[in-house]
């Protein structure tokens, strides 16, 4: 009995619903106490801002999950005609992340904190809400399965064969004896930021988030 092997795919695009901004604090200097105090003060100011954004509904979550402090040696030349000398120095820093639902607020806050001494922006991670992601994942899985069935039926019809009947269906990467491939369902997003908002912030327009599902299936035809 002839066997038709097909792949079914489905893709949906959805506007980003959340943007998580990562902000890093980093200070260095000759005095351990002074470096730690500057890092602590900058970190505390960021945390206060993050809490305010959540309280006022502009953000849904904030986290501070990274603190660093270490000692290192640096070679410097006190004067051009003198030999280099090893100097003991200190660094300290932290990381604060804030998940915004209000992208205008995100765009306004980003340049504000970027102007602070010792603060660096690590970019924005765009995402969907959990409810939207789950709903879209279910939709693309169903559509991928239907796409596989439609392809099998079209091939069978083109070859003058009978009805295509499903034998097996595999999510991407699960078919035996086939090399590794991307997972059965993927969610990917990129972010784009352009200056030019009226209040001196960043006007943010993230790319749509892509949700993809793929299956392969075997159909018997008479």
Smallest CA-to-CA distance from 39 within 20, 21, 24, 22 is with: 24
pTM: 0.80
Q: Which CATH fold topology does 19-126 show? A: Alpha-Beta Plaits (3.30.70)
CATH code for the part of the protein at 3-15+130-221:
3.30.110
pLDDT digits (tens, 9 = 90+) for 123-179: 999 999 999 999 999 999 999 999 999 999 999 999 999 999 999 999 988 988 765
Q: Give the helix ranges, DSSP H, for the chain.
A: 32-55, 103-114, 130-158
> Counting every residue, how long is the chain?
222
**Dihedral of the CA atoms 122, 17, 103, 59 (nearest 10)?**
-80
pLDDT digits (tens, 9 = 90+) for 84-97: 787 889 999 999 99
Residue 16 has pLDDT above 70, yes or no: yes
Percent of the chain with pLDDT over 90: 74
Domain residue ranges of the chain, discontinuous segments joined by +: 3-15+130-221, 19-126
pLDDT digits (tens, 9 = 90+) for 196-210: 344 567 788 888 999
Distance CA 222, CA 157 (A): 11
Residue 114 has pLDDT above 70, yes or no: yes
Smallest CA-to-CA distance from 86 within 96, 74, 72 is with: 74
């Amino acid at each position: 009995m002839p066997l038709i092997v097909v792949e079914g795919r489905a893709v949906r695009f959805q506007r980003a619903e959340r943007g998580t901004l990562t902000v890093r604090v980093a200070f260095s200097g000759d005095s351990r106490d002074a470096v730690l105090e500057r890092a602590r003060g900058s970190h505390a100011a960021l945390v206060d801002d993050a809490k305010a954004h959540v309280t006022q509904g502009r953000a849904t979550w904030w986290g501070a999950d990274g603190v660093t402090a270490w000692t290192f040696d640096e070679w410097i030349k006190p004067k051009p005609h003198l030999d280099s000398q090893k100097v003991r120095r200190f660094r300290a820093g932290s990381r604060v992340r804030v998940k915004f639902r209000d992208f205008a607020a995100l765009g306004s806050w980003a340049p504000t904190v970027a102007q602070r001494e010792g603060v660096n922006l690590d970019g924005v991670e765009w995402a969907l809400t959990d409810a939207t992601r789950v709903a879209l994942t279910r939709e693309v899985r169903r559509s991928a399965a239907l796409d596989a069935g439609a392809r099998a039926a079209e091939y069978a019809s083109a070859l003058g064969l009978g009805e295509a009947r499903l034998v097996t269906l595999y999510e991407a990467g699960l078919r035996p004896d086939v090399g590794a491939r991307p997972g059965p369902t993927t969610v990917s997003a990129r972010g784009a930021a352009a200056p030019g908002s009226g209040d001196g912030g960043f006007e943010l327009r993230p790319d749509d988030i892509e949700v993809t599902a793929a299956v392969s299936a075997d159909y018997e035809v008479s």
